[in-house]
Amino acid sequence: MLGLSPDILLTNLLPPTAVSCGVPYMFIEIPSAKHLAQVQLDLALWRKILANFWAPHVYVIARDSNPEIVYARMFAPALGIQEDPATGAAASALAGLLGMADREIDKRFRWKIHQGVEMGRPSLIEVDANKQNGKITEVLVGGGSVLVGRGEFELS
């Protein structure tokens, strides 16, 4: 479905996992950021595999040597979005997933998510999460923005 060979995906990474923090995503981790540019969502396979699943949106992630840096791409054909350059809802759900996957019971996490690079609209999303007594108790998502348009309309 991602256009990658199975041997790339058969590694000791997070298993594909559906998570929601308001919007449901299927998180799929691949072994490195260099493979992220090769991802091409096969819509026919997506329709067959995920279109009717409760989490039909695809968030592909890669982490290289620094575990606090995440590279990502998001595809949401169910919403009419071919690819999104920055997805705050996915970033917050990812924080919960990565935080719960960590064996620490009490820990403050911080990630920088690079998204939109492959589509020529690079974004940097900053995510913090707090885990207490084995549960995620807080997630903060932020980053800068650039005004790309302004307009007005009048209702009559």
CATH code of the domain in which 114 resides: 3.10.310.10
Where residue 42 falls among pLDDT bands split at 50, 70, 90? very high
Please report where in the chains the tokens 């992220």 appear, as a residue. Answer: 36
Lowest mean pLDDT among 69-83, 88-102, 110-124, 138-152: 138-152
For residue 151, is it within any domain?
no
pTM, entire model: 0.90
Q: Which of 115, 127, 40 is nearest to 85 (CA)?
A: 115
For residue 54, is it within any domain?
yes
Structural domain of residue 136, as residue ranges? 6-142
Query: Of all helices (H) and strands (E), which one includes residue 82?
Result: strand 81-84
For residue 149, is it within any domain?
no
Q: Percent of the chain scored above 70 by pLDDT?
A: 99
Integer angstrom CA distances of residue 88 from 8, 11, 22, 93: 27, 27, 11, 9
For residue 152, is it within any domain?
no
For residue 42, is it within any domain?
yes
Residue 148 has φ and ψ, to the nearest 5°, of -110, -5
Read off the tokens for 80.
């009419």
Query: Of all helices (H) and strands (E), which one includes residue 72?
Result: strand 69-76
Q: How far apart are CA 28 and CA 81, in angstroms?
A: 18
pLDDT of residue 120: 94
For residue 72, is it within any domain?
yes
Please give the tally of structural domains in the chain.
1
pLDDT of residue 113: 98
Where residue 12 falls among pLDDT bands split at 50, 70, 90? low
For residue 87, is it within any domain?
yes
User: What is the arithmetic mean of pLDDT over 113-142?
Assistant: 96
For residue 27, is it within any domain?
yes
Length of the chain: 156
